[in-house]
Amino acid sequence: MSNPLPHAHAAFEPVREQAIDSLNLKVQEYRHRETGAVHYHMAADNSENVFLVALRTVPEDSTGVAHILEHTALCGSERYPVRDPFFMMLRRSLNTFMNAFTSSDWTAYPFASQNRKDFNNLLDVYLDAVFFSRLDPLDFAQEGHRVEFATPDDPNTELVFKGVVFNEMKGAMSSVSSTLWQQFCQQLFPSSTYHYNSGGEPENIPDLSYKQLKAFYESHYHPSNAIFMTFGDIPAAEHQAVFEERALSRFQRLEQRIEVKPEQRLSAPLRVKNSYAFDDNTDTSAKTHLVMGWMLGESSDLEAMLEAQLLSSVLLENSASPLQHALETTELGQAPSPLCGLEESMREMVFVCGIEGSEAEHTDAFEAMVLAIIEQVAAEGVAAERLEAVLHQLELHQREVSGDSYPYGLHLILQALGSATHYADPIAAMDLDPVIESLRSKIENPDYIKGLARKLLLENTHRVTLVVEPDKGLSARKVEEEAARLADIKSGMSEEQKAATVKLAADLVERQQSVDDESILPKVELADVPAAFPDVEFAESDLHGLNTTRYGQGTNGLVYQQLVLALPALNEEQRAVLPLYTSFLTELGIGGTSYLDTQHRQSSDVGAINAFTSMRGEVDNEQEVKAHFVLSSKALLRNARAQTALMRDTLNTARFDEHERLRDLVSQQRARREQSITGNGHGLAMAAACAGMSPLANLNHELTGLAGIRRLRKLDEALKDEGELAKFSATLASIHSGVRDMPADLLLVAEPQEVERLADELTASYGQLGQAASDTLSFKKLREQRNEFWVTNTQVNFCARAYPTVPVGHDDAASLSVLGGFLRNGYLHRTIREQGGAYGGGASQDSGSAAFRFYSYRDPRLVETLDDFDAAIDWLLQGGHDGRALEEAILGVIGSLDKPSSPAGEAKQHFHNRLFGRTHAQRELFRERILAVSMDDLLRVGETYFKPEQASTAVVSNSAQLTPTEELRAKLGLVVQEL
């Protein structure tokens, strides 16, 4: 039942209020009387308050205007005329989330905080940044693009392009999946905004002028085009008072309607050939991507969206789904495309399927295969229990209280934002229960799913097949084209223009090195930090022979279970494939049933089931490592018994004899891991640099880092041999046999009123689990230097340098943790991001590996960045630093320590902390040490641990950088590593 008149500030007109029982909140809608700005407030009993303001942004080219504007808007505003208020507030705040996003048709500015003073501070800064941005031309040059002479003050040197977004998008478009998606949208949307790259294509970004940026800001960043969304326990009227006072009272309604125009429908399917840059040293055979997709109906039509989700899940949800099964097992390609699935964030939904590791000559066969499977669904339908399983997944997704990566409130806001962007009802998009019930009645008609398959896909002529082939020369041609363009620009420059270019570079350096008056920005103090953070209540006892830890948490009707077993001793062969064992365990058959039957069972009984390893060094000794195997699942309360039976059967009767399935899984894993490099290059570089610091750091690099990706490639090739495949299968089975025999503990998280009853009932169902007290996994002590240069397919660089330090229990761990933020805030952000043009850079202490890491992300530079790492240490040791900078670094660490998780996430985190000796008392002691860190402490640990002769360096780059870095590689002893 909805109430049309929630309480509002006088400047706002209340529209309605609607309770959403499945989410335990009320959603209130308001409209600003003068400008028409809408405000949706999600009233919840939650102290982590969230704010977001979104603007509909509809670019009509690929210059990245919306993206560059998002960056530039945060570089100073009317009330806060400092050059970097966003990054300054990051360190003057206790925020639990703070960022800005550019989507294909909106730009959003969200933040979250548990501290009321901090929330109000951030709200002031965000409102001013969005609606009263200065848009300084120098910020446009820094964040967007500019030309500079290679030696900035020497016009006789060649010109180069610079700019944070320019380099960010060079890195982003190094990703094959990003390139595929952009090329696909270009064909599927020939006339609307989705035809263009909203982030910006590197070759188009330099076409954007400052005048065009200003015009886009003035037309799009207006309250009449704004959507305000809030979540938490601050009343809506209180938010609105600030909106009105700080921003909205200064605007009048703008009579315009910014929206995505509907796309003109294709009258016949389209097939297009294209290429992507392939810089690998291997040959190009079996490297083509085949992608096929349809444009569907409006995403704001909730029933149409749920129908599309239903059909997409029927076809692709898991390996037992008919189309997914075909894509995984076909000999036409290596693995399903990363684009597979339903994209519902745009005005019109898109359904995509595809394969990678193929050849262009297979296109006809690929299309025929896909259409035949959809035709089979349209003709024969799908079993009723399969459709029920899909609806079960939708219901569970609707109920789950997330918040382990994004704040829960932000997750809900982003779920609703798409509908609001397209002038539809975002409240309905959050309250899915009525639509799910409607679908439940519709699927009783066996012709219903048949009709959907025919209407949405088979009879839909708006279809594109994209064939994207590898091109070894493409990167070189792009470099040549960019050089030729820069040469043309230089040849056309007058002496005055050359002088202006030199002056721009000098002015920008002067601005970057200037010290702003930060006192005009609001801040929280150390006095605002809570004295302690709360403990989590739990109960632990032996139930039916199974040691069981219970947490009563507000899970909104979900049950979480984890079986935890110490990892047994493993030989080198077993250890090398440990990540594959955990990844594949829940992808295989159980007992006498095949993996296809098991996938059906999983979909019907649980929301997810997966296995992983959990390893940490001792609190006071990183060389001593404990390692556990974890089998984890979540389910609706009504399915808790079935969940337990599935967990028990997976642990006791998993089978490893489905050889073709194993071969397919390895190929898919290889494809996913290779695609992850450009998105996580800094993490992989840090893992390589730390690989000699501790046994756990070495294992991470060897199993899941760059060395692990290389090993996975070799394994994938080796498994073409039947003998190697049988050997691999036996190795996995031997690991499982050892794991299964180890003693097990159970972690159970459920609603407080249900948890004890469930604990007694479910532990009785597990029966006798492993009891053998065999040897556990052991690790060799390790402390050595590593210096490596990893060559991969990327247009930008990722640099890392690491120094051996101490584990978390050591007195110096707190000072080193604070030092990471201190170096980033005081030196690295300016030199690596602002001056160097990298998308990001910083430093951090990793107490798990006992290593301190410097890093850069999507970086146009390499040698200079490594020099900046050294210069940051020199800057630290010179002393004379501001005490406020220390306080800001401490606030940053405390904010990350105190950041809340979901209710289930807090319980799981608490359990695993205790498992590895990270008790609440130990964590409180570490927190107290953080708050007590002094400037003398920072100088002392800098002098103690930053010894040049102990540094390890790792770089992830491309083969073109080998020649320019020859001298550096010789100096540092960087060993070239090929993936």
> Residue 959 gets which letter from DSSP?
G
Could you tell me if 516 and 830 are in contact, meaning their C-beta atoms sit under 8 angstroms apart? Answer: no
3-class secondary structure, 853: strand
In the chain, domain spans: 31-169+181-254+493-510, 270-471, 539-766, 787-978
Per cent of the chain over pLDDT 70 is 99
C-alpha separations of 471 from 148, 278, 283, 468 in Å: 30, 5, 10, 9
Residue located via tokens 């990566």: 405
Cα–Cα–Cα angle for 874, 835, 961, rounded to 5 degrees: 90
* Residue 11, number of CB atoms within 10 A of its CB: 19
pLDDT confidence bin for 429, thresholds 50/70/90: confident
Kindly tell me if the per-residue pLDDT of 710 is higher than 60: yes
Cα-based torsion angle of the residue sequence 669, 673, 675, 680 in order, rounded to the nearest 10 degrees: 150
- Please, which residues have CB within 8 angstroms of residue 214's CB and are 6 or more apart in sequence? 135
Strand 159-162 relative to strand 539-543, pairing: unpaired
pLDDT of 40: 97
Which class would CATH give 270-471? alpha beta
Residue 356 CA, chain-centre distance (Å), reads 22
Categorize the per-residue pLDDT at 773 as very low, low, confident or very high, splitting at 50, 70 and 90.
low
Task: Measure the CA–CA gap between 188 and 191, rounded to whole angstroms.
Answer: 9
C-alpha 230/C-alpha 217 separation (Å) is: 23
pLDDT tens digits, 873-910: 999 999 899 888 999 999 999 998 988 888 999 999 99
Q: What is the mean pLDDT of residues 946-954?
A: 96
Cβ contact 282:670 at 8 Å: no
What gap in Å lies between CA 95 and CA 116, rounded to an integer?
10
Tell me the chain's radius of gyration from C-alpha atoms.
Answer: 28
Helix (H, G, I), strand (E, B), or coil: what is residue 530? Answer: coil
Region of 381 please: left (phi>0), alpha (psi -120 to 50) or beta.
left
Confidence label for 727 from pLDDT (cuts 50, 70 and 90):
very high
Q: Tell me the residue type at 490.
A: K
CATH topology match: 270-471 vs 787-978 = yes
Tell me the CA distances in angstroms from 505 to 141, 445, 458, 514, one per residue in order: 9, 68, 57, 14
CATH topology (fold) of 539-766: Cytochrome Bc1 Complex; Chain A, domain 1 (3.30.830)
Please give the torsion angle defined by the CA atoms of residues 864, 501, 204 and 208, in that order, rounded to the nearest 10 degrees: 130
Percent of the chain with pLDDT over 90: 85
Q: Are the beta carbons of 125 and 98 closer than 8 angstroms? A: no
pLDDT at 530 (0 to 100): 87
**Count of residues for the chain?**
979
C-alpha distance from residue 8 to each of 33, 147, 546, 562 (Å): 11, 50, 54, 45
**pLDDT top residue among 31 and 529:** 31
Q: What are phi and psi of 869, to 5 degrees?
A: -60, -45
Give the pairing of strands 463-471 and 270-277. Answer: parallel
Rounded Cα distance, 931 and 894, in Å: 8
Closest CA to 393 of 91, 108, 639: 639
The pLDDT tens digits for 546-585 are 999 999 999 989 999 999 999 999 999 999 999 999 999 9
pTM of the model: 0.92
Alpha carbons 190 and 429: distance in angstroms, whole number = 28
Q: How far apart are CA 700 and CA 691, in angstroms?
A: 8
Per-residue pLDDT tens over the stretch 603-619? 999 999 999 999 999 99
Residue 280 — pLDDT band, cuts 50, 70, 90? confident
**Residue corresponding to tokens 């100088």:** 939
Other beta carbons within 10 angstroms of residue 555's beta carbon come to 24
Strand order in the sheet with 621-636: 539-543, 546-552, 744-750, 558-566, 621-636, 608-618
Q: Are 83 and 75 in contact (CB under 8 A)?
A: yes
Q: What is the CATH number of domain 31-169+181-254+493-510?
A: 3.30.830.10
Q: Are strands 546-552 and 539-543 parallel, antiparallel or unpaired?
A: antiparallel
The CA-atom distances, in angstroms, between 976 and each of 476, 948, 969 are 21, 21, 9
- How far apart, in whole angstroms, are the C-alpha atoms of residue 679 and residue 347? 26
Cβ neighbours of residue 218 closer than 8 Å, sequence gap 6 or more = none
453-494 pLDDT, tens per residue?
A: 999 999 999 999 999 999 999 988 999 999 999 999 999 999
Q: Where do we find the tokens 């949208």?
A: 185
CA distance 127 to 246: 7
DSSP 448-466: HHHHHHIIIIIT---EEEE
- Model confidence at 70: pLDDT above 60: yes
Across the chain, what does the average pLDDT equal?
A: 94
Whose structure tokens read 């008072």? 241
CB-CB contact of 888 with 525 (8 Å): no
What is the residue-wise DSSP string for 620-641? TEEEEEEEEEEEEEEEEGGGHH
Q: What is the mean pLDDT of residues 398-418?
A: 88
Distance (Å, whole) CA 860 – CA 735: 43
Cβ atoms of 326 and 353 closer than 8 Å: no
Our CA angle for 45, 47, 53, nearest 5°, is: 100
* pLDDT tens digits, one per residue of 333-346: 999 999 999 999 89
841-853 burial by CB neighbour count: b if 16+ within 10 A, else e?
bbbbbbbbbbbbb
> Where residue 433 falls among pLDDT bands split at 50, 70, 90?
confident
CA end-to-end distance (rounded Å), the chain = 59
Q: What tens digit of pLDDT does each residue of 650-674 get?
A: 999 999 999 999 999 999 999 999 8
Q: Average pLDDT in the 93-112 region? A: 95
Residue 4 pLDDT level (bands cut at 50, 70, 90): low
Nearest to 850 by CA among 691, 680, 707: 691
Residue 676 is predicted with a pLDDT of 87
CATH 3.40.50.10440 correct for 787-978? no
Q: Residue 83 gets which letter from DSSP?
A: S
In this structure, what token pair is assigned to residue 57? Answer: 């942004």
SS3 at position 222 = coil
pLDDT in tens, 243-267: 999 999 999 999 889 999 999 999 9
pLDDT for 1 equals: 44
Instruction: Look up tokens 């933020």; give the residue.
Output: 821
The answer to whether 746 and 562 are in contact (CB under 8 A) is: yes
Express each pLDDT in 174-209 by its tens digit.
888 999 999 999 999 999 999 999 999 999 999 999
Average pLDDT over residues 721-747: 96
Helices (H), 137-289: 137-143, 164-172, 176-188, 210-220, 236-246
Whether residue 2 has pLDDT greater than 60:
no
The predicted model gives 850-877 an average pLDDT of 96
Report whether pLDDT(675) > 90. Answer: no
Which one, of 301, 284, 292, 247, lies nearest residue 127 by Cα? Answer: 247
Q: Contacts by 734-740 with C-beta closer than 8 Å and gap 24+? A: 734/574, 735/570, 735/574, 735/577, 735/578, 735/581, 736/581, 736/585, 736/654, 736/656, 738/568, 738/569, 738/570, 738/574, 738/774, 739/565, 739/567, 739/568, 739/629, 739/770, 740/651, 740/652, 740/770
- pLDDT at 953 (0 to 100): 97
Reply yes or no on whether the pLDDT at 274 is more than 50: yes
Cα 388 from Cα 386, distance rounded (Å): 5
Q: Are strands 38-43 and 25-32 parallel, antiparallel or unpaired?
A: antiparallel
Instruction: Look at residue 690 and give its three-state secondary structure.
Output: coil
- Which residues are CB-neighbours of 679 under 8 A, at least 6 positions away? 175
